[in-house]
Amino acid sequence: MSGLAAVLAGREAPGIHLWHGAFDVADVRHAVEHAGWAFGYVDGWTRAGSKPAFLAAVGEALDFPAWYGRNFDALADCLHDIGSGRDGVVLLWDGWATLAREDERSFSIALSVLGSRVNDERGVPFTVLLRGEGPTVPGLTSLD
Q: Is 100 a residue whose pLDDT tops 80?
A: yes
Res. 85: pLDDT tops 90: no
What is the predicted pLDDT for the residue at 49?
Answer: 80
Residue 50, helix vs strand vs coil: coil
Strands (E), 9-142: 16-19, 38-43, 89-94, 126-131, 141-142
Paired strand residues for 41: 92
Q: Please, what is the angle between helix 51-61 and helix 72-79, to 10°?
A: 20
Q: What is the mean pLDDT of residues 78-105?
A: 94
Angle at which helices 72-79 and 104-118 cross, to 10°: 20
Q: In what side-by-side order are the strands of the sheet with 126-131?
A: 38-43, 89-94, 126-131, 16-19, 141-142
Contact (CB, 8 A) for 96 and 131: yes
Would the pLDDT of 94 be above 70? yes
CATH class name, domain 2-9+17-136: alpha beta
Q: What is the CA radius of gyration of the chain?
A: 14
- C-alpha angle 88-18-95 in degrees, rounded to nearest 5: 95
pTM of the model: 0.95
The mean pLDDT of 59-86, rounded to a whole number, is 94
pLDDT tens digits, 5-64: 999 999 999 999 999 999 999 999 999 999 999 999 999 988 768 999 999 999 999 999
Give the rounded percent of residues in the chain with a pLDDT score beyond 70: 99
Q: With 70 as the cut, is the pLDDT of residue 1 above it?
A: no
Mean pLDDT of 103-114: 97
